[in-house]
């Protein structure tokens, strides 16, 4: 007697909360839609419109007409997989997939949805490297560069060195902005101070302006 082959079902091990919410909703909606199409009881456009509204509410709240690739992938896998479960009618994979594809076609035609593309290998690699670098403190970064150089892993050492240089540049930029704000504040305070001076004080200040050497000596003393 020939054994029946178990039906393969798409499952998603890890997905965002939003992806799980919209997947659950779409699973039920597509199930109802497939039944409705067979019985001609519900208007297809109306049902798809409600599904599109929920999809955009959960995965595209900013109205960008797209969503994160991982969310799209997770929702698709979970919806198609759940539609094949016995409690949802046990649809064939081809039927479940067609239900999903009909929904996506509606999203594209009615909502100008742009289907997200899988990130390139380089983009994935860059993201992993960023996560790795962000997890390191400045001291850890220095040690990591030293260890990589010691192991003659010059590619890795170069990555650590590049990140150190980037952080230094950012730090210097932030310091310049801080110093600039402090200097501007001091200049504004001096303007107010000069505005309140009497005649003798103005004359004394004017004397400093006309005697740069004396002013330079005063600056040296104030800097000590």
CA–CA gap between residue 92 and residue 100 (Å, rounded): 13
Nearest Cα to 89, choosing from 47, 132, 33? 33
Confidence at residue 41, expressed as pLDDT on a 0 to 100 scale: 46
What pLDDT score was predicted for residue 37? 65
- Which regions of the chain are under pLDDT 50? 1-4, 40-42
Cβ neighbours of 47 (radius 10 Å): 18
User: By the 8 A CB rule, do 16 and 71 touch?
Assistant: yes
Query: Looking up tokens 């909502």, which residue turns up?
Result: 111
Identify the pLDDT of residue 1: 47
Q: What is the pLDDT of residue 30?
A: 86
Residue position matching structure tokens 């409705």: 36
Q: Where are the chain's structural domains? A: 17-111, 121-194
Provide the whole-model pTM.
Answer: 0.48
How many Å apart are CA 33 and CA 42, to the nearest integer?
Answer: 8
Pairwise CA distance, residues 77 & 73, whole Å: 6
The structure tokens 């060195």 sit at 161
Residue linked to tokens 């595209």: 60
- pLDDT, residue 8, reads 55
CB 111 within 8 A of CB 56: yes
109-136 per-position pLDDT tens digit: 999 999 999 888 888 788 888 888 888 8
CA of 14: how far to CAs of 56, 115, 151, 168, in Å?
Answer: 21, 21, 36, 37
Q: In this predicted structure, what is the pLDDT of residue 114? A: 95
Distance between CA atoms of residues 109 and 209, nearest Å? 73
Query: Which of 79, 102, 89, 87 has its CA nearest to residue 9?
Result: 79
């Amino acid at each position: 007697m020939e054994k029946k082959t178990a039906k393969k079902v798409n499952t998603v091990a890890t997905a965002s909360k939003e992806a799980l919410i919209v997947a659950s909703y779409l699973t039920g909606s597509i199930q109802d839609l497939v039944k409705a199409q067979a019985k001609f009881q519900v208007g297809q456009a109306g049902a798809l419109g409600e599904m599109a509204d929920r999809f955009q509410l959960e995965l595209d709240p900013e109205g960008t007409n797209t969503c994160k690739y991982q969310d799209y992938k997770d929702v698709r896998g979970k919806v198609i997989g759940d539609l094949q479960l016995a409690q949802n009618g046990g649809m064939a994979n081809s039927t479940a997939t067609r239900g999903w594809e009909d929904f996506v076609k509606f999203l594209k035609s009615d909502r100008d949805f742009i289907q997200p593309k899988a990130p390139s290998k380089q983009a994935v690699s860059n993201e992993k490297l960023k996560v790795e670098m962000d997890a390191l403190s400045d001291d850890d970064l220095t040690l990591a560069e030293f260890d990589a150089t010691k192991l003659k892993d010059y590619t890795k050492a170069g990555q650590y060195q590049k990140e150190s240089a980037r952080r230094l540049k950012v730090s210097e930029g932030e310091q310049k902005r801080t110093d600039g704000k402090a200097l501007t504040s001091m200049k504004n305070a001096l303007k107010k101070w000069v505005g309140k001076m009497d005649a003798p004080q103005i004359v004394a200040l004017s004397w400093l302006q006309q005697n740069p050497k004396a002013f330079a000596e005063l600056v040296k003393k104030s800097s000590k």
